[in-house]
Amino acid sequence: MDLSALLEAIGRGPRGADLRAWSFAGSVSRRASLGVKDGQAGNAHAPFTLGETSTVHYLLVWSDGRVSRGTWERRQVEREIDRALDEARLAAYDDPDAARVCGRASLPVVALHDAAAARAALGEVTEIADRLNAVREMVARRSFRTWSGSFAAAEGMTRVVTSQGFDAATSGTSLSWHVSLNGESGDGYGARRAETHAEFLARLERLAAIADDLARDADPDGGRDDLVLLHPRVVEAYVVETLLANLDGAAVAHGQSHFDRHGFGSDTPVLREDIELLVDPLLPHRLGSYACTGEGVPASRTALVERGRLVSPVLDLKYARRLGLEPTAQPYAMDTVRFGGAEQIPNSDALDRAVGGLLVLSVLGIHTQDPTSGDFSLSAQQSLRIGPRGFAGRQRSTISGNLFELLRRDDLVFVAFEGETTPGLLTRCRIHPT
């Protein structure tokens, strides 16, 4: 987005004279997407769309120390900026820790843009069509009853400008897809550029194999009552997200975290001593990669947990100031979050160890759990019984336990899954067939 009208208005108008400091992050994004509903693509229920969005996120620090934060649309910035500034002034509030903006800084070089993805975002459908046709061919060959999905490409440009001299513009792309088979089993992929066609087909075949295994029920009397292998999707959606919720700077500062703020930097482990959790936005072409945050904090690799010990909360400028620490990298997507232990075993070895147990592919009820206590009871309707010669069919279950106790167990095993950046977890918890 062109921020010139906004910057001119601040320079010439009475509201600009009333400002002590300010920060703007203007972005414009173009996106092409195609939906598929019950095998039908591009109809009224799953149309092909081309769209553009443009916004400015603002932080205004007024001369009396009060602050205003919010978002303006392009119309407000380009045609109604004086009115928008007046309304922001009326909505100002006291928040001394938020009254901080970035100064001049050099940014790291990070690969965020891909030419093919940019063309797809403007409506060049070759990349999307190739994947759509590959899914259709696989569904016909494997005789699945139905399938649905989505395919999307986007290109975005962002400029961050502050009153303290920071001014940086970056551009990035994304390509993503998601497919579900027979109305339930789903998988997908997203990055700043497409995976290779061979990688796409391999992921699709793994999804098809899982869907076949889910289509038959397991013998209800042939399983163990405690052994589970959590798929990386479950680890990301529940385990890592719960850890990040407790590491969030606001939660730590307000005493709403499982972790005490004084535990950061301590030599006392809170998890098993080989466990680490870090954020690395410098990885090339990952969805979560960036050169700077929307506040202007340069990207850097940040350890949150090392050797089971708390290193840092996840901190924006406000909560870094409140806790007297430096701002950190932000976990914008799971592909830049590294979670794991010192060793991982191959998925094939984990299945051998887990005979009689369950492979949990997805869970329901995550948002009803208490992240602070770590107690969980999750519906695992997409679970497969692990047999001595492969999967023995579907077992609908509920799994329960305590996450923090699980992450301190000596018998917890990290498991490498093909095509996944996050490991699975082989562990024990209570299983209740449903």
pLDDT tens digits, one per residue of 317-372? 999 999 999 999 999 999 999 999 989 999 999 999 999 999 999 999 999 999 99
- Whether the CB-CB separation of 144 and 182 falls below 8 Å is answered with yes
- pLDDT tens digits for range 204-252: 999 999 999 999 998 876 556 689 999 999 999 999 999 999 999 999 9
Sequence-distant (≥ 6) Cβ neighbours of residue 51 within 8 angstroms: 30, 31
Type of residue at 240: V
- Whether the CB-CB separation of 270 and 259 falls below 8 Å is answered with yes
- Whether the CB-CB separation of 128 and 102 falls below 8 Å is answered with no
Q: Which residues pair with 91 in a beta bridge?
A: none
**17 pLDDT above the threshold of 90:** no
Rounded to whole angstroms, the Cα distance separating 392 from 30 reads 45
What pLDDT is stored for residue 221 in this prediction?
63
- Whether the CB-CB separation of 311 and 266 falls below 8 Å is answered with no
Type of residue at 118: A
Closest CA to 23 of 156, 169, 164: 164
**Distance linking the first and last C-alpha atoms of the chain:** 52
**Rounded average pLDDT over 375-381:** 96
Sequence-distant (≥ 6) Cβ neighbours of residue 11 within 8 angstroms: none
Closest CA to 100 of 69, 55, 56: 69
Task: Tell me which DSSP letter residue 335 carries.
Answer: G
**Rounded average pLDDT over 133-153:** 95
pTM here is: 0.94
Task: Tell me which DSSP letter residue 237 carries.
Answer: I
Residue the block writes with tokens 């077992």 = 395
Q: For residue 60, what are the CA distances in angstroms to 15, 87, 270, 321?
A: 10, 12, 39, 17
Q: For residue 83, what are the CA distances in angstroms to 27, 72, 88, 360?
A: 21, 11, 9, 53
- pLDDT tens digits for range 77-92: 888 888 999 999 999 9
186-193: list long-range contacts, CB under 8 Å, 24+ apart: 187/233, 188/149, 189/419, 190/287, 190/333, 190/335, 191/285, 191/286, 191/287, 191/335, 192/111, 192/112, 192/113, 192/114, 192/117, 192/285, 192/286, 192/287, 192/289, 193/114, 193/116, 193/117, 193/285
What pLDDT is stored for residue 223 in this prediction?
57
**Rounded average pLDDT over 378-386:** 95
The pair of structure tokens assigned to 385 is 């019984």
**142 pLDDT above the threshold of 90:** yes
Residues across the chain: 434
313: helix, coil or strand?
A: coil
Task: Tell me which DSSP letter residue 397 carries.
Answer: E
- pLDDT tens digits for range 260-307: 999 999 999 999 999 999 999 999 999 999 999 999 999 999 999 999
All domains in the chain, ordered by first residue: 4-209 (3.30.2290.10), 216-434 (no CATH)
Q: What is the overall mean pLDDT for the chain?
A: 94
* Of 419 and 221, more confident: 419
- Whether the CB-CB separation of 150 and 31 falls below 8 Å is answered with no
What pLDDT is stored for residue 4 in this prediction?
83
**25 pLDDT above the threshold of 90:** yes
**Rounded average pLDDT over 403-432:** 96
**13 pLDDT above the threshold of 70:** no
Task: Tell me which DSSP letter residue 283 carries.
Answer: S
The pair of structure tokens assigned to 155 is 């290109």
Q: Which residues pair with 31 in a beta bridge?
A: 51, 154
Phi-psi domain of 240 (left: phi exceeds 0; alpha: psi -120 through 50; beta: other): alpha
Type of residue at 270: V
DSSP class per residue in 124-169: --HHHHHHHHHHHHHHHHHT-S-EEEEEEEEEEEEEEEETBB-EEE
What pLDDT is stored for residue 12 in this prediction?
74
